[in-house]
Chain A
Amino acid sequence: MRIPILKLQNYLLISIQIDLDDQTAIQFQEDLLNKIYKSGATGVVIDLTSVDIIDSFIAKVLGDVVTMSDLMGARVVLTGIQPAVAMTLIELGIHMQDVQTALDLEQGLVKLRQELEG
């Protein structure tokens, strides 16, 4: 399964709407980095509104993709993390401190615009 990555001006938008298995998560990591490279996008929003579970593996893949994108020069914002997911992550012991987040897709785009366009 492939997660669609949409391009909007200088940004890439991703809405994850499936229960992520490990393989799909890894594939997404690779697809996103390739898409950043090809499109020259400077900002990425990954919307997690429809994701109702993030375990330690998925958290690692997400955290890594943020760092990897950053290395390439694209800023990533995660949006729409559900309350239950936020609570579960912290109880699991996963803090994702270096990751930018916003309440929803719209706020995520605002955040990116502020950071990238000053």
Chain B
Amino acid sequence: MELKPCVNIRQEWDIVGARQLGREKAKELGFGTVDQARIATAISELARNIYLYAGTGKVEFEIIDQFDRKGLKIVAADEGPGIRDVGEVMQDGYSTSGGLGAGLPGVKRLMDYFDIRSENGEGTEIEAIKWVR
């Protein structure tokens, strides 16, 4: 199996690194400019959440090449405190960090598939996919 491209999130600058690598992968896959911006923005939100709430974690990219469609899968994983109430963070305008509270619900709108798993005290894993149109 091919090694998955991955960016470790340890410092603030890694947020930029993650979205730049994501944009590069999206470009390679043939995504248009608008989808590239959507993907890069989604990665930026996910990477920032890791940095802000878990401290460290990673963002992994996987190219999905099925017989009828191609896409880019992003997995953002950390071993931070986890999210107490997933329903709450998926509401627009909810924020514990003084941000705009657009993060996760925004990412869900920008991508085609979105899944979040979080265990209290064990971390969070978010999977998001964008399909090439």
Contact = CB atoms under 8 A, between A and B. Distances in A.
Interface of A: 19-23, 52-57, 59-60, 82-85, 87-88, 91-94
B13 A84 contact: no
B48 interface: yes
B44 A91 contact: no
Ranked 9 nearest A-B pairs via Cβ: A92-B106, A84-B37, A55-B44, A56-B102, A93-B102, A84-B34, A56-B100, A21-B16, A88-B37
Contact of B34 (A21, A23, A57, A88): A88
A22 to B, nearest CB: 5
Contacts of B99: 56-57, 60
Given A55-B45, A57-B48, A91 B100 contact: no
Contacts of B20: 19
Interface in B30-45: 33-34, 36-38, 40-41, 44-45
Nearest to B111: A91
Contacts of A88: 34, 37-38, 41, 110
**Which of A20, A21, A23, A85 counts the most B-chain CB atoms under 10 A from its CB?**
A21
Contacts of B36: 52, 84
Given A56-B45, A56-B102, A83-B34, A21 B40 contact: no
Nearest to A53: B40
A88 B38 CA distance: 6
Nearest to B33: A84
Contact of A91 (B12, B16, B19, B38): B38
A19 B99 CA distance: 20
Contacts of B19: 19, 53, 55
Given A19-B20, A56-B100, 18 more contacts: A21-B13, A21-B16, A52-B40, A53-B37, A53-B44, A55-B41, A56-B45, A56-B106, A57-B44, A59-B102, A83-B33, A83-B34, A87-B38, A88-B34, A91-B109, A91-B110, A93-B105, A94-B102
B37 A92 contact: no
A13 to B, nearest CB: 24
